[in-house]
C-alpha cells in the first residue's frame, strides 16, 4: 500500500489543531488516523495530539494481519476509547484544558477489507472504479437536522452552525464510537480528512483529483489541500491518502 499525508494551517487559523499519523504495518496492513482538535488556547492541538499518540501506542506490537476482522474492530474500538480516557483525564485535571476535545477517524486496512472507527465530523471516503463515496456519517447538529428532514442538504452545507458537533472524543467520560467495515480492492483509494477539506471542496472536485492517473499519490494529496486553500482555507486542512497498491513502500 502507498500512503501520502498533508496538513496545512489554512489561511485564517493561527494554530494547526489537526494531527494525523499513517503507516504501513506488517504484511500489507495499513493504519491511519486523523484528529481535529477543539478547545481554548492550545487545548485543541493538545487533544488531537494525545488522541493520535494514544491510538498509535495502542497498536504497538500488534500483529495486525494475524487478527480477524472482528478482532480489528475490537482493537480500533478499544484504542479510541483509550484515547477518550486519556484526553478526558487531562482535561479534568487541568483548568487550561477544560472542555477540550477532538474528532477522530481511524482506519485499519488489510488487503481485502478494513475497519473505520469514527467520532465527530472528520471523514473517510473511498474512491473505487470511478465512484466516490463517503463512508462515515458526521456527528453534527446540522446532519441530525438534515437526516430528520428539517433542513435540506443544500441548507446543511451552508448552515451557520454546521461545525457544531453532537459527539466528540475527550469531552465526556463515556463516548460512543461508530465502527464501519468496508471492502476494497487493488487501485482503490481511501481518503481521510478533517472538515477543513470537506467543507471547502466538493465531492465532485475531490473525486476528480483522485481519478487522475497522471498524478502520483503525493501530488494528489497536495492538490486536495491546494483546492481547500483556493476556496478560502477557512480551517486547518489535513489529508491522508491510502492507495491499495499491494506491498509497496510508503510514499509519505
Of residues 182, 43, 62, the one with CA closest to residue 113: 182
Handedness of CA 155, 147, 137, 81 (dihedral sign): positive
For residue 199, what pLDDT is reported?
Answer: 92
pLDDT digits (tens, 9 = 90+) for 113-135: 999 999 999 999 999 999 999 99
For residue 142, what pLDDT is reported?
Answer: 81
For residue 160, what pLDDT is reported?
Answer: 65
pLDDT digits (tens, 9 = 90+) for 2-34: 999 999 999 999 999 999 999 998 677 999 999
Q: Give the whole-angstrom CA distance, residue 245 versus residue 45.
A: 32
Of residues 202, 207, 194, 208, the one with CA closest to residue 230: 202
For residue 250, what pLDDT is reported?
Answer: 40
Domains and CATH numbers, the chain: 2-243 (3.60.40.10)
For residue 26, what pLDDT is reported?
Answer: 65
- Which residues in the chain land under pLDDT 50? 247-252
Amino acid at each position: 500500500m502507498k500512503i501520502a499525508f498533508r496538513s496545512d494551517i489554512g489561511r485564517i487559523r493561527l494554530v494547526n489543531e489537526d494531527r494525523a499519523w499513517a503507516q504501513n504495518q506488517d504484511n500489507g496492513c495499513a493504519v491511519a488516523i486523523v484528529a481535529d482538535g477543539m478547545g481554548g488556547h492550545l487545548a485543541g492541538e493538545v487533544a488531537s495530539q494525545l488522541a493520535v499518540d494514544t491510538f498509535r501506542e495502542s497498536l504497538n506490537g500488534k500483529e495486525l494481519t494475524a487478527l480477524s476482522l472482528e478482532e480489528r474492530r475490537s482493537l480500533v474500538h478499544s484504542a479510541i476509547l483509550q484515547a477518550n480516557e486519556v484526553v478526558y483525564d487531562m482535561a479534568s485535571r487541568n483548568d487550561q484544558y477544560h472542555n477540550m476535545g477532538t474528532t477522530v477517524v481511524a482506519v485499519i486496512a488489510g488487503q481485502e477489507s478494513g475497519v473505520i472507527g469514527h467520532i465527530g465530523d472528520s471523514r473517510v471516503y473511498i474512491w473505487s472504479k470511478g465512484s466516490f463515496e463517503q463512508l462515515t456519517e458526521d456527528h453534527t447538529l446540522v446532519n441530525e437536522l438534515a437526516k430528520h428532514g428539517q433542513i435540506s442538504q443544500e441548507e446543511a452545507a451552508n448552515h451557520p452552525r454546521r461545525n457544531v458537533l453532537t459527539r466528540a472524543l475527550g469531552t465526556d467520560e463515556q463516548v460512543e464510537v461508530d465502527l464501519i467495515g468496508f471492502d476494497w480492492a487493488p487501485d482503490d483509494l481511501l481518503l481521510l480528512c478533517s472538515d477543513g477539506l470537506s467543507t471547502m471542496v466538493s465531492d465532485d472536485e475531490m473525486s476528480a483529483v483522485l481519478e487522475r492517473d497522471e498524478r502520483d499519490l503525493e501530488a494528489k494529496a497536495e492538490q486536495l489541500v491546494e483546492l481547500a486553500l483556493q476556496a478560502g482555507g477557512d480551517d486547518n486542512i489535513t489529508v491522508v491518502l491510502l492507495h491499495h497498491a499491494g506491498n509497496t513502500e510508503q510514499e509519505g
